[in-house]
Chain A
């Protein structure tokens, strides 16, 4: 396994780097698109505005190179905006397009002031944006028949750390691996298509289950 972490100027690279090391791999920071082909596993962090992140990606020559890398069938994991970028575009920045590896758009979530039907919701039941904090991910029913390898060792109730205002809306149900409910929002928290995966949450910041998921990814193949 040769794990690379994309370094294009818009990610919490160090957190991802530290977490991958923690699970026993020796990751390399990839800042040159021509270096992609030397890796079997690529992780793309991404934090901030969708348009800003995509433009940095283009500027550094990664957009086309990553598409080719993914088409070549090697393992790819996008985190947060790195995941959203796998889709066709985002409401946050209508002028730019995503990688289009997965079909669907990224949309703004809905905040609400009214109570949620849940005995446990405090804060007057308000749904605030950004969605910041620990929420559980619920595997989709098709994943129960054909388990997603990234969820090996992760239980149904386990929580992951989220920080976001937008969520991907995949058009193909089979690419949606797990969702997270937040008020009336149905967040695409884990997506997968062949060897490409994306998490809306931050596995590198999600304690032991996050590390488990990263370990599962790095051990694929």
Chain B
């Protein structure tokens, strides 16, 4: 009877190809985005997220073409992130067939952009992506700082405070990635996830570190995430989305079958 917890495969796209790196570096090729998206849809994915990691702005148009092609064949929600800097970028992605856009660096540079974007397009299509990394504190109380530019630039901003602020500014969802865990297969940073889910009242998507099906379940059960995002466990055929759902259902989690 409850709202189903969502499983969201994430496709990092570089110049039109799906790639996957470890800790934001060491990139491997993982296929054609249209084929990969279609496969996940058939397996029962609840949503698909594309993250455009193309470095050169000359190649930015390729992600628009990817979204157009995927949207004409796949009938579940699509989120696109990477390089969203202005309202016109959001407009272009939504027109191409995306349902939501995910915004990271631009939100940090100009938080008002999130307010404008959600007023203009509705908060349901504005996802704020938060890349957080644990930093040492003298009194050993855990603290996470947010990073921009694909994890390269520290900002000095506290991740929990930032989450609350972004929800207030009009983010419809938060996509929270632990940079300490991303690509490690050690599981989500549950401490980080549970603190953010307790602090905000908008849905939270947990990301970074999934290496097995139990990690997905723990993101919901212990991290209290509304959705779990993973890339490599699905891309390289270790598990299907269907297997992930059967596992989560066994743990008592409501999923869409």
Contact = CB atoms under 8 A, between A and B. Distances in A.
Interface string B124-142: 1100000000000000000
B5 A49 contact: no
Interface stretch (B28-36, B219-227, B234-242): B219-227
B37 to A, nearest CB: 13
A133 B122 contact: no
A64 interface: no
Contacts of B95: 14
B75 interface: yes
Nearest to B254: A120
Interface stretch (B9-17, B154-162, B175-183, B195-203): B195-203
B153 interface: no
A131 B202 contact: no
Most buried by B among A15, A133, A207: A133
B203 A132 contact: yes
Contacts, number: 118
Interface in B96-151: 96-97, 99, 119-125
A83 interface: no
A207 B2 CA distance: 19
B121 A205 contact: no
Contacts of B96: 14
A18 B95 CA distance: 12
Interface residues of A, number: 44
B46 interface: yes
A55 to B, nearest CB: 13
A136 B256 CA distance: 9
A161 interface: yes
B99 to A, nearest CB: 6
Interface in B215-257: 220-221, 224-227, 252-254, 256
B220 A122 contact: yes
A128 B226 contact: yes
A31 to B, nearest CB: 14
Contact of A120 (B125, B201, B202, B252): B252
Most buried by A among B46, B172, B197, B203: B203
Contacts of A159: 4, 256
A202 B99 CA distance: 11
Interface of A: 12, 14-15, 18-19, 21-22, 47-49, 111, 116, 118-124, 126, 128-136, 159, 161, 163-165, 181-182, 202, 204-208, 210-211
Given A12-B99, A128-B203, A133-B46, 20 more contacts: A15-B71, A15-B75, A15-B97, A18-B75, A21-B72, A47-B122, A48-B120, A120-B1, A122-B5, A122-B224, A122-B254, A133-B3, A163-B77, A163-B99, A163-B125, A164-B124, A165-B124, A204-B75, A206-B75, A211-B75
23 contacts: A22-B73, A47-B121, A47-B122, A47-B124, A49-B122, A116-B2, A118-B1, A120-B1, A121-B2, A123-B224, A123-B225, A128-B201, A130-B123, A131-B3, A132-B124, A132-B173, A133-B46, A134-B3, A161-B76, A163-B172, A164-B124, A205-B77, A208-B75
